[in-house]
């Protein structure tokens, strides 16, 4: 039996152990639902690290805005579903609203209506997609400051209030290895995040073709840096 089957087995057994406690059953039910659902992977990193480009490459469609546009500043969830839908969750706690969208040469353009990016807590894009059936992807805004609070801020992006521990794993993109990236990576393993649901982080050396000023051997250099 695989490790995940064993873990699922423990959850199912615990349902009978806690049969007398409706509260416990509710929590176990939620955990089971999350366990059976797609893995939630957040893509984080500094500004222009290539997060949205990677997200689009994983899905195989240009869903996330790259380069410019207000939407790069908003945490955006990409989920599988039967219909194409974009929902905006306002920061002021008011009800989520459906947003208009269209495709411009394949790229998804979301109309925020009369809202500014700073007023939107998160966007949820539901898109029928084979990749998204297995993975829910969360594109996060670039982290642009190197202050002490960077780690905390990154987690604010990943931790909208109504969803406890939203990401199962984090892909952390970096173009070079900086001390600030290392501090941030350490923050992802912070105790407060590690419980009750450990967040795993994979560091990705991004825009690797540009390393070494884009010389022909840049991919070989990237491989060496990644190994180190």
Measured from the CB atom, is 45 or 151 closer to ligand GTP?
Answer: 45
Per CB under 5 A, does 72 bind Mg ion?
A: yes
Beta-ladder partners of 111? 100
Q: Of residues 48, 115, 153, 223, which one binds ligand GTP by CB under 6 A?
A: 48
Per CB under 6 A, does 30 bind ligand GTP?
A: no
Measured from the CB atom, is 28 or 76 closer to Mg ion?
Answer: 76
Q: Report the distance separating Cα 14 and Cα 35, nearest Å.
A: 14
DSSP 3-state assignment of 64? coil
Measured from the CB atom, is 76 or 222 closer to Mg ion?
Answer: 76
Residue 80, CA distances (Å) to 66, 86, 130, 139, 155 in order: 21, 12, 8, 15, 24
Residue nearest to Mg ion (CB): 52
Query: Taking Cα atoms as reference points, which of 138, 206, 142 lies closest to residue 169?
Result: 138
Residue 69 touches which of ligand GTP, Mg ion, none (Cβ within 5-8 Å per kind) = none
Beta-ladder partners of 173? 45, 204
| E strand or H helix at 13 | helix 3-17
Binding footprint of Mg ion on the chain (CB under 5 A): 51-52, 72
Binding footprint of ligand GTP on the chain (CB under 6 A): 45, 47-53, 66-67, 72, 141-142, 207, 209-210
């Amino acid at each position: 039996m695989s490790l995940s089957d064993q873990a699922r087995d423990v959850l199912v057994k615990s349902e009978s152990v806690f049969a007398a406690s409706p509260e416990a059953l509710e929590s176990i039910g939620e955990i089971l639902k999350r366990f059976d659902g797609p893995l939630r992977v957040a893509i984080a990193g500094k500004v222009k690290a290539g997060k949205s480009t990677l997200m689009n490459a994983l899905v195989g469609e240009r869903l996330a805005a790259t380069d410019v546009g207000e939407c790069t500043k908003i945490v955006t969830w990409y989920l599988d579903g039967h219909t194409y839908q974009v929902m905006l969750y306002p920061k002021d706690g008011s009800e989520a609203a459906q947003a208009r969208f269209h495709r411009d040469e394949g790229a998804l353009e979301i109309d925020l209506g009369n809202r500014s990016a700073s007023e939107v807590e998160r966007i949820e894009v539901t898109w029928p997609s084979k990749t998204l059936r297995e993975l829910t992807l969360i594109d996060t805004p670039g982290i642009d400051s190197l202050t002490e609070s960077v780690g905390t801020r990154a987690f604010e992006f990943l931790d909208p209030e109504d969803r406890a521990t939203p990401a199962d794993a984090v892909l952390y993109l970096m173009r070079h290895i900086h001390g600030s990236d290392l501090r941030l990576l350490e923050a992802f393993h912070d105790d407060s995040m590690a419980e009750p649901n450990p967040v795993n982080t994979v560091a990705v050396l991004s825009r690797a073709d540009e390393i070494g000023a884009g010389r022909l051997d840049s991919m070989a250099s990237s491989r060496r840096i990644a190994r180190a």
